[in-house]
Amino acid sequence: MSSSADLPRLKVRFGTGWNTCNYHCEYCVTDQPIGDNAATPEALPVLSRLRSAAMEPSRVIRKVASVASRLPVLKQETETIGWDEAKYLRVIDQFATLPYSMDVRIGVGGETFINKTVVEGARRLSNHDNTRAVNLISNLSFSFKQYERIFQGFDLSRLALVCSFHPTEIKDIDRWVETAIEVNQVVDLAIVLVAWPPLMPALADYKRRLEDCGLEVFVQAFHGWYEGQKYPESYSQDDRKRLANVFYSEHDYEHMVDLKQPGSCYAGVDYVYVDINGDVWRCGTYKVPQGNLLNGFRLLSEPAPCPGNECWCDTENLNTVEFRNRYEMTSLNQHKYKKRASVSQV
Ligand SMILES: C[S@@+](CC[C@H](N)C(=O)[O-])C[C@H]1O[C@@H](n2cnc3c(N)ncnc32)[C@H](O)[C@@H]1O
Ligand code: SF4
């Protein structure tokens, strides 16, 4: 196998189907209703479930009600593209055989570091000859000593982490920040804050505090339902002003808050979404099939229009032609980039 530098790049978001978490964030996107608006058939019953669950006194009961009520909806999906250790490692190993310089984000709906197999796959991937970057996502709920043990055997020069700051779940915020500072010394780290309505008033202060410690921070708009309102559409004008001040980039704001139509996109060209069965899709937001990792897949020769109206996934919306013309990546981390000095045609 050639070294990674000689090969054309291929960026992948690998949807593992691992959805178990050690945190129980009330706003977690994994437990948000399926459906775009209150008029879609799937959204209405879930909205009413959320409303009745919200009457319960305990946050845990609300969470359990929300998860349990979604099980019939998820059942079919779980059987076909749900988490499976053997399939996961098969896809990881298959990445090593591809004639590309691989930049893989291992996507989870739960927590990465509570699953030894997810971690072992990431470790293997970081050591493949053709790997350029491995991007992981985590709630950073372990101690630095535990991370030191977990990171053993990784090629840390290829590892990047996006860690979510979930203040409703973190027991000791000072210690969490200390851990983030320590992890940032050994791994390319970015922190993400979710602009859930109850967290809005504290958002700017949290961001400043983390940045003052030398951490790179970006804000993700809340996507889901809160008090019967769908977000991000229901942010008030005041909320929008506050968000515009704390967002990482105009790009993030336009796509995550304003739900801008993405236009032409490199998804399917040098970026694909891969599921646990190895099926290859143009992206994970709108599933256009491109083959299978084990049996062969094809790539598009040039960017094509986004088939949908919005793309708020922070991994995927970086593939728009407009993003690539306006911004350039500054590290292996999927969420570190800066404006180009002049707008270029990539
Ligand atoms: C579901 S989490 C799973 C990974 C990991 N456990 C974590 O907390 O980062 C994946 C990403 O979604 C973000 N997220 C969670 N709930 C969200 C929501 N309702 N709207 C937007 N982003 C959300 C998290 O901050 C994280 O960046
Ligand atoms: S803009 Fe986003 S949703 Fe649209 S094709 Fe590209 S990656 Fe997919």
pLDDT in tens, 110-136: 999 999 999 999 999 999 999 999 999
Q: What is the pLDDT of residue 78?
A: 43
Q: Which of 81-85, 87-91, 157-161 has the lowest mean pLDDT?
A: 81-85
CB 67 within 8 A of CB 31: yes
Distance CA 203, CA 205 (A): 6
- Summarize pLDDT for 4-16 with one digit per residue, the tens: 678 999 999 999 9
Q: What is the band of 346 on the pLDDT scale with cuts at 50, 70, 90?
A: low
Please give the full DSSP string across 25-83, using - where no structure is assigned: -TT-GGGSPSSSSTTSTTHHHHHHHHHHHTTSS-HHHHHHHHHHHHHHHHHHHHHHHS-
pLDDT digits (tens, 9 = 90+) for 23-42: 999 999 887 665 444 333 33
Query: What confidence score (pLDDT) does residue 77 get?
Result: 45
Phi, psi (degrees; rounded to nearest 5) at 200: -55, -45
Distance 313 CA to ligand 2 centre (A): 9
pLDDT for 30 equals 84
pLDDT in tens, 164-191: 999 999 999 999 999 999 999 999 999 9
In CATH, what number does 4-23+81-339 get?
3.20.20
Residue 345: the pLDDT is 59
* pLDDT the model gives residue 344: 62
Closest approach atom of ligand 2 to CA 285: 3
Distance separating alpha carbons of residues 214 and 282, to the nearest angstrom? 36
Contacts of 67 (CB under 8 A, 6+ apart): 31
Q: What is the 6 CA–ligand 1 centroid distance (Å)?
A: 34
Average pLDDT on 129-151 reads 97
Quick one: average pLDDT of 219-234?
A: 96
Distance from the alpha carbon of residue 195 to the mean position of ligand 1, in angstroms: 11
Residue 144 has pLDDT above 90, yes or no: yes
Give the phi and the psi of residue 288 in degrees, each rounded to 5: -105, 120
Give the CA-trace dihedral at 137, 143, 148, 149, to 10 degrees: -100
Whether residue 47 has pLDDT greater than 50: no
How far does residue 23's CA lie from ligand 1's centre (Å)?
A: 11
The proportion of the chain whose per-residue pLDDT surpasses 70, expressed as a percent, equals 84
Q: Is 76 or 225 the better-scoring residue by pLDDT?
A: 225
- Mean per-residue pLDDT, 143-162: 98
Average pLDDT over residues 103-116: 97
The pLDDT of 288-303, averaged and rounded, is 97
Average pLDDT over the chain, rounded to an integer: 88
Looking at 78-87, 184-193, 229-238, 320-329, which range is the least confident one?
78-87
Spell out which residues line ligand 1, taking CB within 6 angstroms.
Answer: 21, 27-30, 32, 108-111, 137-139, 164, 192, 194, 220, 222-224
Ligand 1 atom nearest the C-alpha of 28 is 16
Cis amide prior to 232 (ω within 30 degrees): yes
Q: How many A from CA of 274 to the centre of ligand 2?
A: 14
Q: Which ligand is nearest to the CA of 169?
A: 1
